[in-house]
């Protein structure tokens, strides 16, 4: 097969199987020379409907995907079966990422997300979708807000009980919890309950979870806006305080699909709030102390950003081999000129570097660098009302000098 004609079809198929496919999808499957899919998906296509060589996905899938994109590309008519909409956390995303649109055709079916929202009467545009298929379940935690609607694509039948337990431990055991099994098929069923009372046993292997979030009495909801309460973090005191953290995040200016290096991460609060700004934001935290590196990992799980990368060791040696960041926060050892130069060298053009200083020596370092590299200097002072006898007075915290600079 040559030319720019479609050689790859990715066909969404639902629990209603072959009967639910439209004529174009049936023609794509019937005309394929090679048909890939899960064993369950391949079993939904009658033997007399396609003479293609049927190839079930191996585990892991990567070798088969590579073969499709190399050996078969523009030489073989390939059809791939996928659940529902292949472009909604599906194999279609992986297969077509680097292909021009002239080479493939995506034929979606109604997704489990769409079906679940339809069953519940939830507007899709106002409902959050999270997948925990081959991903940490803790990522659901960053979406817990009072009244939030969440649809979760499950890994397997154990996911509902695990997720219900996670919600309960996070203070959201009062949330309405529904599990849909075999959505869109003849054996569709759903079960309702409360997360805190959900039974520990498994559900059906093909399930989708719907959550209407409700915090338990006494649970403090965590805002998506930077400046989470200091008390919410597990810390040994090496923590950028709430008000300073909010200003620092504003200076770092998180953007979707961008990466932060949190150098001298301490508790990990800056990197955690960076990642909470958008699901596509990523962070690599560098921390020299092992106990603090472990604490950062625990905090990342607690705040729903399990994808945070933590590297334990002495910077800048630990920078080797890491992808260049879009922003860097120097949270420690600000006076270290070798560390600064390594940060500056690794920062992408147009990237932002932010450093906070508390001591006179570290402040002097920032002032000296400002005279060479430019940028903005500012000083922040926070005072809190505290008891003085029978009244209250302002007790100022130590002032913070912040330097923000953009790399040309």
What DSSP character marks residue 138?
Answer: G
The tokens describing 394, both together, are 């302002």
The enclosing H or E element of 354 equals: strand 352-357
Q: Report how far Cα 9 is from the mean position of its chain's Cα atoms.
A: 28
Question: Helices 290-302 and 269-276 sit at what angle, rounded to 10 degrees?
Answer: 30
The enclosing H or E element of 270 equals: helix 269-276
- The tens place of each residue's pLDDT in the chain, 408 residues long, gives 444 579 999 999 999 999 999 999 999 999 999 999 999 999 999 999 999 999 999 999 999 999 999 999 999 999 999 999 999 999 999 999 999 999 999 999 999 999 999 999 999 999 999 999 999 999 999 999 999 999 999 999 999 999 999 999 999 999 999 999 999 999 999 999 999 999 999 999 999 999 999 999 999 999 999 999 999 999 999 999 999 999 999 999 999 999 999 999 999 999 999 999 999 999 999 999 999 999 999 999 999 999 999 999 999 999 999 999 999 999 889 999 999 999 999 999 999 999 999 999 999 999 999 999 999 999 999 999 999 988 999 999 999 999 999 999
What DSSP character marks residue 38?
Answer: -
Q: Which residues contact 226 (CB under 8 A, 6 or more apart)?
A: 245, 246, 249, 250, 273, 276, 277
pLDDT in tens, 196-214: 999 999 999 999 999 999 9
The tokens describing 276, both together, are 């909470």
3-state secondary structure of 88: coil
Domains of the chain with bracketed CATH: 8-110 (3.40.1010.10), 113-212 (3.30.950.10), 230-406 (3.40.50.150)
The tokens describing 379, both together, are 């000083």
CB–CB of 84/60 below 8 Å?
Answer: no
Over the range 252-261, which residues count as b (16 or more CB within 10 Å of their CB) and which as e?
bebeeebbbb
Phi, psi angle pair for 29, to nearest 5°:
-70, -45
Closest CA to 83 of 208, 186, 260: 208
| Reported pTM | 0.92
- The CA distances from residue 363 to 263, 264, 286, 359, 403, in Å, are 17, 17, 22, 6, 9
Phi, psi angle pair for 108, to nearest 5°:
-75, 150
H helices of 97-158, in order, are 112-120
Decide the pairing of beta strands 176-181 and 207-212: antiparallel
């Amino acid at each position: 097969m040559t030319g720019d004609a479609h050689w790859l079809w990715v066909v969404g198929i639902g629990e209603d199987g072959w009967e639910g496919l439209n004529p174009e999808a049936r023609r794509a499957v019937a005309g394929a020379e090679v048909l890939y899919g899960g064993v369950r998906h391949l079993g939904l296509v009658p033997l007399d409907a396609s003479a293609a060589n049927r190839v079930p996905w191996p585990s892991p899938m990567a070798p088969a995907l590579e073969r499709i994109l190399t050996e078969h590309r523009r030489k073989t008519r390939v059809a791939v079966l996928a659940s529902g909409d292949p472009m909604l956390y599906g194999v279609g995303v992986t297969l077509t990422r680097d292909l021009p649109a002239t080479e493939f055709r995506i034929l979606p079916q109604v997704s489990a997300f769409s079906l679940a929202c339809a069953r519940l009467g939830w507007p899709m545009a106002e409902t959050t979708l999270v997948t925990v298929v081959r991903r940490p379940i803790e990522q659901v935690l960053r979406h817990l807000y009072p009244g939030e609607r969440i649809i979760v694509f499950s890994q397997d039948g154990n996911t509902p009980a695990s997720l219900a337990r996670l919600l309960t431990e996070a203070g959201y055991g009062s949330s309405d919890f529904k599990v849909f099994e075999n959505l869109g098929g003849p054996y569709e069923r759903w079960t309702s309950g409360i997360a805190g009372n959900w039974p520990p046993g498994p559900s059906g292997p093909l399930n989708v979870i719907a959550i209407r979030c409700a915090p338990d009495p006494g649970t403090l909801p965590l805002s998506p806006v930077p400046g989470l309460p200091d008390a919410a973090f597990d810390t040994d005191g090496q923590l950028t305080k709430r008000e300073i953290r909010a200003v620092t995040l504003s200076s770092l200016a998180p953007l979707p699909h961008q990466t932060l290096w949190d150098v001298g991460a301490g508790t990990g609060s800056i990197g955690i709030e960076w990642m909470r700004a958008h699901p596509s934001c990523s962070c690599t935290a560098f921390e020299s102390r092992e106990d603090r590196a472990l604490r950062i990992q625990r905090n990342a799980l607690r705040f729903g950003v399990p994808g945070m990368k933590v590297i334990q060791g002495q910077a800048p040696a630990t920078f080797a081999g890491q992808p260049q960041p879009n922003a860097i926060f120097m949270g420690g050892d600000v006076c270290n000129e070798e560390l600064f130069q390594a940060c500056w060298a690794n920062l992408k053009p147009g990237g932002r570097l932010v450093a906070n200083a508390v001591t006179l020596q570290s402040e002097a370092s920032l002032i000296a660098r400002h005279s060479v590299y430019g940028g903005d200097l500012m000083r922040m002072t926070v005072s809190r009302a505290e008891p003085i006898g029978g009244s209250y007075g302002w007790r100022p915290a130590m002032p913070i000098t912040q330097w923000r600079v953009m790399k040309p």
